[in-house]
Amino acid sequence: MTEATPPPALRRPASSPVVRVLTYSATRLFALFLTVVVGIYLTVLIANMGGHVDLIKRTEVREAVGTAVGMDPVMMALPVEERHRRIAELVAIEEERLGLHRPFFERSVYFTRDALMLRLGFAERMTSDAGSRLVRNIILERLPPTLLLFVSAQILLFVTSVLWALALSRGYGSTMDRIVIALAPTSAAPAWFYGIFLILIFAVVLGVLPFGGMVQAPPPEHPVAYALSVLRHMVLPMTALFLASIFLAVYQWRTFFLIFSSEDYVEVAKAKGLSSRALERRYILRPTLPTIITSFALSMIVAWQGAIILETVFNWPGLGRTLFTAIGHFDTAVIVGITIIYAYLLAVTVFLLDIIYALVDPRVKVGMEGEQ
Amino acid sequence: MRRFFAELRRYPSAIGGLVIIGLLVAMSVFAVIAIPYNEAIRLWRGGEEQWLENPRLARPAWMALLPGTNLTRNIAVDSRGVQRQEVDHGGGIREVTATLSFDYRYRAFPTELTVFFEPTYQNLPPSVTLFWRAPDGTDIPLGTRAVRTRDIFRISGDARLQAELGVTRPERVLFGDPRVPDRVLPGQHQLVIQAILFEPDAQLEARLIVYGSAHGIAGTDHQRRDIALALLWGTPIALAFGLLAAVGSTLSTLIIAAIGVWYGRWVDGLIQRITEVNLILPFLPILIMVGTLYSRSIWVILGVVILLGMFSGAIKTHRALFLQVKEAPYIEAARAYGATGLRVVFSYMIPRAVPVLIPQLVTLIPAFVFLEASLAFLGLGDPVLPTWGKIIDDAQRAGALFTGHHYWVLQPAFLLLLTGLGFTMLGFALDRVFNPRLREQ
């Protein structure tokens, strides 16, 4: 149906491995960058509702100027025509300040360009707690709490699930194995859902842990006391995150390891009399390493965005809640700022994963995939 | 087909899941038949007038059966059918006295006390004097007032009465034992209504509601609405949303993957690139933006969910499967008899993926049910429909967890969890039936 030979540009039989790796990396990077550009442009469009938000902003500007003029006795003393002229002038200045005087399409292109160059600019309405209007400061201020909570939770989840799954796959069919399988469906509910129950049990009924927030008020002076207070506040959200995914994660890893441990070469190794530990390390973990690495890397990126609802439930001052507030304020700059960094992190991770794959898995031939 | 069910029966989780799903479907059917759509919306959105006689924030009635609770139920006494004395003062003026009496045996005070008047008159509204007669025979005057059409006398919120009795909750004095503070005086309580009617045709009916602290199957919320209504109607909405979103997104993903593989070249490349772009787009934030800026209608959100779900990461797995299928001999046979591309895609390739598709679809449903709840929780729930997520949202806003109204959160949460468990349990079992590699020995 289609011609079977690849186009000549793709046929380079005699190129050296280094050149191949470099060309492959370059094309891959370029493709990823294009993806990011399109993704960010779409986000800009959506965050502005295709220019619809401009209308809202224009109306707001007009209203604000009208109110300000109405409160100003000097302005009110002016003759009507003069006053209308002044109002129109003020509206124009304000619209120019917000960049609304340029057509939306033009602005969206500039916006995307700035975002891609990580010039995140100024927020339109939001400020950081320290009072800065720079999007960078807003993000940097909320990033540490998010990373603290989600990176710790993801690492805990990842390590527990992989180790537990390995143990289960060793003795599958055991009672513990059956319990985990039976509990796997509980992961249908998201973390915030478990959060509500945890708050109910540990904060309302038992009263042993705080309802939410990151540190007690007023914050303790001593650094150690401060850290302990933060830890105490982390217990419930981390438990919620953990409970919401642990059983499904263990179940999936266990199934995954089981499939690999039923391969013929594992049987042969077993027959050779290798210890189960060596068997695990050399014949099960080794071939599954790329998948394990990918899943770990992707879970780390997910941590970047935090979780909008979990942070809302626990009153955790992180990026997720900032994003939610930004959407509520139509603050495109902040929305795009958070999205662009996520997009870059994702693109870089995907690129690095490609390279790591080639390093840990000799079966993957860089530059050859898809064109046997 | 029969063998498939026999196979499925071997998994207890499949049976459990099917039972739960059956219950939920039965609940949905009941909801739709018992309370028509428009009626449900009118009741839920109609404001407090629809629910005047319901207590505010009442617990579910069954909680009164639990030991250690001290819950009261609503008591309603109507003047219709009650003996009344009539004295004619001449000139069309009559004095009517009616006594609404009831037996109060609860140990807890009622939560509210309200009299609803229904007078009929031409120009001059009747004048009414009220007394409260406690079981020990003491009379407490409640004041005199002219009652107009549909007048409501909220005894527990009446400022003049509060000032006269020197308390913020008059019912505590009316029902209280004068000798022991904060103790209810049980027995026959009476509301004496003395009305002076100024017109020969004038009538007066009154209805006393002694509000309890437990009401209905599921209790009431801060607007006196019966939560059972929203729980019931939330079921078909949740199921419809979950099912449509799951079917819409998985089926479209499958078709797109098959088309990409079959036509190959730039079609495949384009589809792959779109998938990668879609991976970068933030899913929940986009839904929140659509909800905030455009429309909160559950059907618009459903459309966006399907649109964003079309090019999901699942395309990559489907693609791997179809690449193998494409080389199968029967595809070649189909091609040999001259089948067109689309015919091969729809009649030969897609059916091959059904065993992979069905477990995935069933397992995905709860994710979308919870997605709706998540959006509602952020205040982006459908503006008219009652859904489970919106109950939780209302409860959270009213601080239900902090004020001890746990039932308000726990009931919808329980239904959500039940839905999640039902579909996931069935989905996992289906996965093992369809994909024998996962099966335990």
Residue B30 lies in a domain: yes
Q: Return the axis-axis angle of helices B406-434 and B12-34, rounded to nearest 10°.
A: 130
Question: Are B273 and A35 a contacting pair at CB < 8 A?
Answer: yes
Domain boundary among the residues B211, B234, B253 is at: B211
Backbone angles phi, psi at B217, to 5 degrees: -70, -35
Residue A178 lies in a domain: yes
Q: What is the pLDDT of residues A187-221, one digit of tens each?
A: 888 888 888 889 888 888 888 888 888 888 788 88
Residue A211 lies in a domain: yes
Q: Tell which of B268, B289, B439 to mutate to test the A interface (max A CBs under 10 Å).
A: B289
The CB-side HSE value for B163 (13 A sphere, CA atoms) comes to 4
The verdict on B229 and B203 lying in the same domain is no
The verdict on B423 and B287 lying in the same domain is yes
Contacts of B261 (CB under 8 A, 6+ apart): B268, B319, B322, B323, B325, B326, B349
The verdict on B267 and B413 lying in the same domain is yes
The percentage of chain A sitting over the pLDDT mark of 90, rounded to a whole number, equals 2
**Mean pLDDT confidence for B46-54:** 77
Coil, helix or strand at residue B383: coil
The verdict on A113 and A147 lying in the same domain is no
> What CATH number does residue B125 fall under?
2.60.120
CB B20 within 8 A of CB B422: yes
pLDDT beyond 60 at A6: no
Residue A66 lies in a domain: yes
- Label residue A8 by pLDDT band (50, 70, 90): very low
A42 touches chain B (CB under 8 A): yes
Quote the pLDDT of residue A306.
Answer: 62
Residue A341 lies in a domain: no
Which residue in A has a C-alpha nearest to residue B288's C-alpha? A327
Q: What is the pLDDT of residues B69-93, one digit of tens each?
A: 788 888 888 888 888 888 888 778 8
Which residue in A has a C-alpha nearest to residue B400's C-alpha? A200
- Which residue did the predictor score with more confidence, B423 or A182? B423
**Mean pLDDT confidence for A163-167:** 85
Residue A295 lies in a domain: yes
User: Nearest C-alpha of chain B: how many angstroms from A185?
Assistant: 5
Residue B66 lies in a domain: no
Quote the pLDDT of residue A5.
Answer: 44
A213: left (phi over 0), alpha (psi -120 to 50) or beta: left
Q: What is the pLDDT of residues B399-414, one digit of tens each?
A: 887 787 888 888 898 9
Contacts of B318 (CB under 8 A, 6+ apart): B253, B254, B257, B258, B353, B356
Residue B130: its H or E element: strand B127-133
| B204 DSSP β-pair partners | B119
Residue B27 lies in a domain: yes
Read off the amino acid at residue A96: E
Chain B residues inside the 8 Å CB shell of A335: 285, 289
CB B308 within 8 A of CB B278: yes
> What CATH number does residue A271 fall under?
1.10.3720
Quote the pLDDT of residue A187.
Answer: 82
Taking the CA atoms of B28, B32, B35 and B41 in sequence, report the sign of the dihedral they define.
positive
Nearest to A162 by CA among A297, A80, A34, A257: A257
A191 touches chain B (CB under 8 A): no
Backbone angles phi, psi at A117, to 5 degrees: -90, 10
For residue B437, what are its two tokens? 């590699």
Residue B54 lies in a domain: no
The verdict on A82 and A177 lying in the same domain is no
B150: left (phi over 0), alpha (psi -120 to 50) or beta: left
The domain tally of chain A equals 2
Chain A residues inside the 8 Å CB shell of B404: 204
The domain tally of chain B equals 2
The verdict on B239 and B306 lying in the same domain is yes
Distance separating alpha carbons of residues A36 and A155, to the nearest angstrom: 27
Note down the domain range covering B398. Answer: 2-44+225-439
Nearest to B72 by CA among B183, B210, B213: B213
Domain boundary among the residues B181, B211, B241 is at: B211
Q: What is the pLDDT of residues B187-237, one digit of tens each?
A: 888 888 888 888 888 888 888 888 888 888 888 888 888 888 888 888 999
Q: What is the pLDDT of residues A270-312, one digit of tens each?
A: 788 777 777 777 777 777 777 788 788 877 777 666 678 888 8
Buried b (16+ CB within 10 A) or exposed e, B30-56: ebeeebeeeebeebbeeeeebbeebbb
Nearest to A181 by CA among B339, B428, B421, B208: B428
pLDDT beyond 70 at B438: no
- Label residue A60 by pLDDT band (50, 70, 90): confident
Domain boundary among the residues A117, A152, A171 is at: A117
The verdict on B149 and B276 lying in the same domain is no
The CB-side HSE value for B196 (13 A sphere, CA atoms) comes to 11
Quote the pLDDT of residue B29.
Answer: 92
pLDDT beyond 90 at A51: no
Tell whether omega for the bond before A218 is within 30 degrees of 0, i.e. cis: yes
Buried b (16+ CB within 10 A) or exposed e, A215-237: beeeeeeeeeeeeebbeebbebb
- Label residue B25 by pLDDT band (50, 70, 90): very high
> What CATH number does residue B32 fall under?
1.10.3720.10
CB A260 within 8 A of CB A287: yes
For residue B395, what are its two tokens? 């409860």
Question: Are A42 and B277 a contacting pair at CB < 8 A?
Answer: yes
Question: Are A185 and B284 a contacting pair at CB < 8 A?
Answer: no
The verdict on B204 and B242 lying in the same domain is no
Nearest 10 degrees: Cα torsion A171, A176, A179, A181: -30
Quote the pLDDT of residue B242.
Answer: 92
CB A313 within 8 A of CB A326: no
Question: Are A343 and B423 a contacting pair at CB < 8 A?
Answer: no
Q: Tell which of A168, A193, A262, A335 to mutate to test the B interface (max B CBs under 10 Å).
A: A193
Note down the domain range covering A261. Answer: 142-331
| A311 DSSP β-pair partners | none
Quote the pLDDT of residue B244.
Answer: 93
User: Nearest C-alpha of chain A: how many angstroms from B282?
Assistant: 7
